[in-house]
Structure 1
Amino acid sequence: MMKNWFKNIGPGPLIAAAFIGPGTVTVCTLAGVNFGFALLWAMVLSIIATVVLQEMSARIGIVTQKGLSEIIRTEIKHPIFKILVVLLMFSAIVIGNAAYEAGNITGGVLGLETLFGTANTQVSGVTFNWFSLVLGVLAFVLLYFGNYKVLERVLLGLVIVMSLAFLFSAILTKPDLSLILKSAFIPSFPDDSLLLIIALIGTTVVPYNLFLHASLVKEKWQTTEDLKLARKDTMISVILGGLVSMAVIISAASIQGDTITSATDLAKGLEPLFGRFAKYFLSVGLFAAGLTSAITAPLAAAYVASGCFGWTSNLKNSKFRAVWMLVLGLGVVLYSVGLKPIDIIKFAQVSNGILLPFIAAFLLWIVNKSSVLGRHKNAIKQNIFGFLILLISILLSLATLNKVFSLNLF
């Protein structure tokens, strides 16, 4: 039975690995430190939204055997509108992921530094961190020499390690289970929590994951008979990922203080209360989160670029490789030389915040087209959930714009 379960695992763990990055860990840490268990319900909402959208994306990939960006490009008939949409997808995902890759590398490095200390070296007056090079090389080797099955197994292993690390950290804090259940299912809105609530949703419902999922499922499954396996794979993986994020919130809730601003602060803060094992668990988890996202972000960018320009989306294709190499290389360089790509990250936040409602709308449009999905198009219940999520994504977009440009919309 266990052997069959592992055999039927698809790209779901890769999707979980993609959304549990250092940014998610940091946001969850801030949620726990500042509001305790009060915002756990936002993660439950995020899990539901992610399962619904990722299932639609996976269904498109399996039925059409095409990536999402390719489907969007071919289904839009107006030439000018098609160019605008392709440019939006390319800039938001490819360029945006290059900026976020620096954050992914940062997370992995912080996890290693918490365990082993700093590894900085001065090279021609520039501070260089060797841990960032180690992470970059690991990601490069897996993407260049690996195939889909290799990536699937490696990322599954990292997700399991990451999950156990964060879940054990939460268990060590001995939380109040009744309060956790209450907070998970009864929404509350503490003062000054709105943007953090939307950030929790935004770090889980990730636009580039929708593209990544549609592209990866066709590597695993080729017939519509496999839709049931894909749904099970998506649900289990996303729920597991959501539980990991909730475990970070629970761990952070055990410490109150303004000095806790990241997962590394959380690891150090838990050590005097719960022993050095808490520090080790969280550090390993942060390293795994950084490495998995450092692999999936360039991969997603390459799939999107391939769909936008009609390239072959194959791990061995030279153009495909060129895109993920560019994204990975930029991430390592931006971190290693100590640059803070604030403006690039700001652009990435804005573009992804704007992109999510568009992609959610395109998803709903495509999954309701009989010409694309035939009898596998959306049912009424799926549309109800889909349109509710679309409204949430619009709120997320407005909140992102409000935060970056201080528009005072809320």
Structure 2
Amino acid sequence: MAKEASSGARRAASEKSRRPWLSRLSIYLKALGPGIVTGAADDDPSGIATYSQIGAQFGFALLWTMLFSYPLMAVIQEISAWIGRVTGVGIAGNIRRHYSAGILYPLIGLLLIANVINLGADLGAMGSALQLVIGGPALLYTVGFGVISVIGAVALPYKQYAEYLKWTTLVLFVYAATALIVKFPLIPVMLGTFIPSITFSNSYWTALTAVFGTTISPYLFFWQASVEVEEQRAAPHEKPLKHAPRQAPAQLDRMRGDTYLGMAFSNIIAFFIILDTAAVLHAHGITDIETGAQAAEALRPLAGELAFLLFSIGIIGTGLIAIPVLAGSSAYALGEALKWPIGLERQLERAKGFYGILAVATLIGVALNFIGLNPIKALFWSAVINGVAAVPIMVTMMLMTDNKKITGGLRLPTLQRVVGWIATVVMFAVAASMIATMLWNAWPGADKIPGH
């Protein structure tokens, strides 16, 4: 009896020692806001495909983009969140109130086109990944993922839905786990991370535009601004900061920490995806990878069953995060533009238009997989389209932060303003370089010029 009591006491003590750690983790995750979900959604199946292509085609040479893009994407996302918190209105709502319809609807149109293509590509990739793991019809799985995402957004209250999204982000650690399985040379990885390499070719600039397009994506701007508004409205004593400037230090500090952590999480995972595919696929001469599922399948004979399984699970898990964000950003943007009641916190009967947009965008994405959408091209080119579409949206956002009618006199800090404009110029330069090299290569006499 004494031994049993002693054993029971040890088990109780062991369980008690684990509880504080789990309790602290739970409290910490609950304190995180839209930033961590936005960061995880940035590594959607389209992003995984892009990073897999980059790793397979260029090896470790483009790892530097993850380090370089971090401050740019973090500040742009902070500015998106800042606009939502300061004004109490999302990006589209601010454009509608303070700019012309000639600016509003083209920007919303660019967003919707990029989002729907992205939705179709992501859903198709998730279906293909599940087919690789368990077999069966990929199209049926694609439909199932679309339906589950819509039902989750409509049926669950925002707070519960946000908790689900935050816990789901943990699945992305599978790509860090995959890096523990594969072998990689340290010196080339360090060189690729800290020393930029630039090649003046169409494939290089297209790849670079896709990298920046999937790390700095328009749908993330609209989503985070609108969800910050949701967070503010859900808090009983919080108000838009232009009406309650005394609340600014506490709200903006929380928002900044959450956003910077989320973006760091996003880029660390993207770094590991490039590292995984470069170490295994590029090293074995496999450079023609065009989807995440194809990368997972190629990893199987080279890195083992576990690496394949982890990579596939990651595609499905991150898709479950990204689909609601993609569809939700479309619903927020178009709903605000049309002056409809919006918000994931609202009941269905009080926001039918909002949930209708969310459902229709998702279902169109599903339908694209039935009418000949090429998932191989769509995954990559959705990132390229995002890279091009981001430029005018970023310019508009930066102009908003200097408009006192919008901000009520609150000023975006100088450092954020400078870095925000640098990020905008970088996006423009990369997209313009891609278009220029495409036009140059299409010119009939280009191949006859010496040195070309």
Q: Same fold (TM over 0.5)?
A: yes
Give, in whole Å, the separation in 1 of the partners of 2:110 and 2:33: 26
Displacement after TM superposition at 1:65 (Å): 0.9
Match of 2:311 in 1: 282
Moved more, 369-378 or 266-275: 369-378
Displacement after TM superposition at 1:407 (Å): 7.3
Displacement after TM superposition at 1:375 (Å): 5.8
The 5-angstrom pairing of residues 211-360 of structure 1 reads 211-221=222-232, 222=238, 223-224=247-248, 225-254=250-279, 255-256=281-282, 257-315=286-344, 316=347, 317-336=351-370, 338-340=372-374, 352-360=386-394
Match of 1:103 in 2: 121
Moved more, 66-75 or 377-386: 377-386
The 3 A distance-change label for structure 1 pair 305 and 116 is same
Query: Which residue identity lines up with residue 293 of structure 2 in the other structure?
Result: T
Query: Which residue identity lines up with residue 146 of structure 2 in the other structure?
Result: G
Give, in whole Å, the separation in 1 of the partners of 2:256 and 2:426: 23
Q: Deviations over 1:275-316 (max 9, x none)?
A: 211011000001122222222111000000022122222233
The 3 A distance-change label for structure 1 pair 353 and 278 is closer
The 3 A distance-change label for structure 1 pair 348 and 170 is closer
Displacement after TM superposition at 1:64 (Å): 1.1
Match of 2:71 in 1: 48
Give, in whole Å, the separation in 1 of the partners of 2:375 and 2:64: 32
Displacement after TM superposition at 1:95 (Å): 3.4
Match of 1:175 in 2: 184
Please tell me whether the aligned partners of residues 77 and 221 of structure 2 are also in contact (alpha carbons under 8 angstroms): yes
Specify the structure having the higher radius of gyration (Cα): 2
Give, in whole Å, the separation in 1 of the partners of 2:423 and 2:276: 28
Query: Which residue identity lines up with residue 198 of structure 1 in the other structure?
Result: T
The 3 A distance-change label for structure 1 pair 345 and 269 is closer
Please tell me whether the aligned partners of residues 133 and 312 of structure 2 are also in contact (alpha carbons under 8 angstroms): yes
The 3 A distance-change label for structure 1 pair 304 and 187 is same
Please tell me whether the aligned partners of residues 96 and 351 of structure 1 are also in contact (alpha carbons under 8 angstroms): yes
Give, in whole Å, the separation in 2 of the partners of 1:182 and 1:258: 20
Q: Deviations over 1:5-47 (max 9, x none)?
A: 2221101132123321222111111111122111011122222
Give, in whole Å, the separation in 2 of the partners of 1:350 and 1:39: 16
The 3 A distance-change label for structure 1 pair 248 and 341 is closer
Give, in whole Å, the separation in 1 of the partners of 2:399 and 2:367: 39
Give, in whole Å, the separation in 1 of the partners of 2:160 and 2:390: 30
Matched, 1:23 2:46: yes
Match of 2:241 in 1: none
Query: Which residue identity lines up with residue 326 of structure 2 in the other structure?
Result: A
Q: Aligned match of 2:134 in 103, 116, 119? A: 116
Please tell me whether the aligned partners of residues 84 and 229 of structure 2 are also in contact (alpha carbons under 8 angstroms): yes
Matched, 1:33 2:56: yes
What TM-score does the superposition give when structure 1 sets the normalisation length? Answer: 0.88
Extract unaligned runs of 5+ from structure 1.
Answer: 77-81, 121-128
What TM-score does the superposition give when structure 2 sets the normalisation length? Answer: 0.81
Matched, 1:208 2:219: yes
Give, in whole Å, the separation in 1 of the partners of 2:330 and 2:61: 35
Please tell me whether the aligned partners of residues 51 and 211 of structure 2 are also in contact (alpha carbons under 8 angstroms): yes
Give, in whole Å, the separation in 1 of the partners of 2:28 and 2:42: 23
The 3 A distance-change label for structure 1 pair 342 and 112 is closer
Give, in whole Å, the separation in 2 of the partners of 1:203 and 1:270: 23
**In structure 2, the residue corresponding to 1:203 is in which secondary structure?**
helix
Give, in whole Å, the separation in 2 of the partners of 1:230 and 1:269: 40
Extract unaligned runs of 5+ from structure 2.
Answer: 1-23, 233-237, 239-246, 447-452
Match of 1:136 in 2: 146
Query: Which residue identity lines up with residue 127 of structure 2 in the other structure?
Result: V
Q: Aligned match of 2:420 in 386, 395, 405? A: 386
Displacement after TM superposition at 1:403 (Å): 7.5
Give, in whole Å, the separation in 2 of the partners of 1:360 and 1:403: 23
The 3 A distance-change label for structure 1 pair 2 and 17 is closer
Match of 1:93 in 2: 111
Query: Which residue identity lines up with residue 422 of structure 2 in the other structure?
Result: L
Displacement after TM superposition at 1:89 (Å): 2.1
Moved more, 220-229 or 240-249: 220-229
Count of aligned pairs: 396
Moved over 4 A (4+): 337-354, 399-410
Query: Which residue identity lines up with residue 91 of structure 1 in the other structure?
Result: G
Give, in whole Å, the separation in 2 of the partners of 1:15 and 1:171: 26
Match of 1:123 in 2: none
Match of 1:14 in 2: 37
What percent of counterpart residues are identical? 23
Please tell me whether the aligned partners of residues 112 and 283 of structure 1 are also in contact (alpha carbons under 8 angstroms): yes
The 3 A distance-change label for structure 1 pair 19 and 407 is farther
Q: Aligned match of 2:166 in 156, 161, 172? A: 156
Q: Aligned match of 1:195 in 206, 220, 229? A: 206
